[in-house]
Amino acid sequence: MRFTGKTCLVSGAGSGIGRATALQLAKEEGQVVVIDRNDAAGNETRDLIISAGGKAIFCHCDVGIEADIIATVETAIKEWQKIDVIVNNAAMMTFKKIVDLTYAEWEMVMRVNIGSVFLFCKYGIPHMNPGAIVNISSVHAHETTANVVPYASSKGAMEAFIRGVSLEYPNRIRINCVAPGAVDTPMLWNNPNVKSGAEVVSGAIGKPEELAEAICFIASGEASFINGTTLVADGGRLDIL
């Protein structure tokens, strides 16, 4: 029970890796703030936790909106007075060549994928003493494909971000990334490049629960000497890209 009595925030917890992580944290007696902009999906995750005997609340939050993030942090503090773990999982992708992207589309990806990480750190860290932050990066930060440049760029920025933040709070906050490869989630199968066959998903496809195990390890005291780095959990995908 690595998270007994710990307040754990998980964004994008309505499905996929986020839901699996929220369920695992709650299974290990964490009190979970389920964060999603999809109310039905987020409430379903909360209900799954509660029905299994766990503790959870749901916060509607569009992570691309600063006011929503502020309200989510305030709700967590009002409910449980502290924050111990933040899992920044929510993300989005575009599937266009750079010349076909609008600046608004580029900006939206950056706001959701890396802006939200900055904001959850900015508003969450003051309530963490100590605490662990886990950001969900991607193999795209290391090897990528055509037509997903904003996504890959945001994940590369995320890994640079955690290296810097780890130096700002070395004795109080641990901040790391977990970089998944192909995972059986809606984001993978809704990718139009995958749907059309333009991108062939080869090699191992992970389960959300397998990523949740890696995320919870990095968030736990078992990883107390791991800070400012990225755990690649990709089933060997980078070896074949």
CA of 224: how far to CAs of 123, 160, 170, 220, 231, in Å? 23, 20, 11, 7, 14
Choice among 103, 123, 151, 169 that is catalytic: 151
Whole-number Å distance between alpha carbons of 117 and 133: 10
Buried b (16+ CB within 10 A) or exposed e, 160-174: ebbeebbeebeeebb
CA of 141: how far to CAs of 11, 47, 56, 94, 97, in Å? 20, 34, 32, 15, 17
Check if 103 is active-site: no
Question: DSSP class of residue 170?
Answer: T
**In terms of residues, how long is the chain?**
241
Token pair 């100590």: residue: 130
Helices (H), 131-185: 149-168
HSE toward the beta carbon, residue 43, CA cutoff 13 A: 4
CA of 109: how far to CAs of 21, 76, 116, 147, 152, in Å? 23, 26, 10, 13, 10
Helices (H), 9-102: 16-27, 39-51, 66-80
Annotated active-site positions, please? Answer: 151
